[in-house]
Amino acid sequence: MQERSRTYSWQNTAPLAEATKALDGLTLLSKVASGELPAPSIAATMGFRLAEVAEGRAVFEGAWQEFLTNPAGTVHGGWYGTILDSAMGCAVHTTLPAGTGYTTLEYKVNITRGVGPDTGTLRAEGTVVHRGRRTATAEATLVDANGKVFAHATTTCIIL
């Protein structure tokens, strides 16, 4: 059995936490996407990044990596859930004023095909479906460069 190891790093996320108090969601996430603010550490842990944001929309990118695999050698289902939850939650976050938080109440993921070493970069594209005063709903699709769907999801978030 050949042992593998993984070393990775992330930036101090305290400036990001402070910025959530002063910046509206779209401005905050735009600064994360551009590198002006550090990404949440979950992105380094799970091997994905925030690629694009707009009002009511967030896109994350990631790809197959050996440390993400299940016994069959494809990406573990938890990765699909995490990248899709991130895209949907951040899409909701783009609609929030400074100092307003949210959290996922529930989400559902449908995995339609496995992600393997030859899949390439995938994009989790999240969009807000409804934004109310206390709750928001969003959906996301995980697609490859050709638009082939690998998973899709829905969420309900509570606005705090």
pLDDT in tens, 142-154: 999 999 999 999 9
Q: Where are the domains of the chain?
A: 14-159
pTM of the model: 0.97
Compute the distance between CA of residue 28 and CA of residue 114 in angstroms, rounded to an integer: 33
What average pLDDT score do residues 94-105 get?
97
Q: Which residues have CB under 8 Å from 156's CB, separation 6+?
A: 104, 105, 106, 107, 135, 136, 137
> pLDDT band at residue 18, thresholds of 50, 70 and 90?
very high
CATH of domain 14-159: 3.10.129.10
Compute the distance between CA of residue 8 and CA of residue 23 in angstroms, rounded to an integer: 28
**Tell me, what's the pLDDT at 1?**
84
